[in-house]
Amino acid sequence: MTPKIRTLTTTSAAVFLAISFAFAGSAGAAEASAKPTLTQDQQAGKDIAFSKSEGNCLACHAIANGELPGNIGPMLVAMKIRYPNKEDLFKVIWDPREKFGKGIIMPPFGDHKILTKEQIDQVVDYLYTL
Ligand code: HEC
């Protein structure tokens, strides 16, 4: 091999590597977006939980994929296992004072009409995906 050809081969190998990395990157992105999509109700619940003007659950709870969560409440994770009965989870959000006592800092979302029954149902549907 002449030096010139060797340089060419090295260069094309580098280009090939760069291209394969680019493809690997886009394959990763495709995989991430192929994650199970949320139903309409679950997505609505997520929007409520993440929105500052509605549930704002993120202000106090860490939630998967939520940015800048607060740490006043426990992380919301494995909710289906921890609350096998949906009604119990609904009740905690409707009025956490029943379960945690009057001093709880979490607002009684249903009892204080911050969220409607339908909205809390959607939040519960979403929490069940966590
Ligand atoms: C102002 C802070 C605050 C906000 C806002 C808040 N929570 Fe909480 N939440 C808490 C605290 C504190 C607890 C822990 C109670 C305890 O363990 O003593 C809690 C407990 C819970 C629990 C029970 C967790 C468990 O481990 O049993 C659930 C479920 C929950 N919150 C859901 C929500 C949802 C859904 C929202 C939004 C609609 C929300 N919280 C908004 C502070 C908050």
Q: What is the pLDDT along the chain (130 residues), one digit of tens a residue?
A: 555 555 555 555 554 444 444 445 444 455 555 566 999 999 999 999 999 999 999 999 999 999 999 999 999 999 999 999 999 999 999 999 999 999 999 999 999 999 999 999 999 999 999 9
Instruction: From residue 102, give the alpha-carbon distance in Å to each of 42, 95, 97.
Output: 29, 10, 5
CA of 113 to the centre of ligand 1 (A): 16
Which atom of ligand 1 has the smallest separation from the CA of 55?
38
CA of 39 to the centre of ligand 1 (A): 23
Take atom 7 of ligand 1 and give the residue whose Cα is closest: 106
**For residue 81, what pLDDT is reported?**
96
CA of 18 to the centre of ligand 1 (A): 47
Q: Torsion over CA of 94, 95, 99 and 101, rounded to 10 degrees?
A: 170
Q: Which two tokens stand for residue 21?
A: 């990395």
Burial class (CB in 10 A: 0-12, 13-18, 19+), 46: buried
Q: Which two tokens stand for residue 82?
A: 């921890």
**For residue 20, what pLDDT is reported?**
47
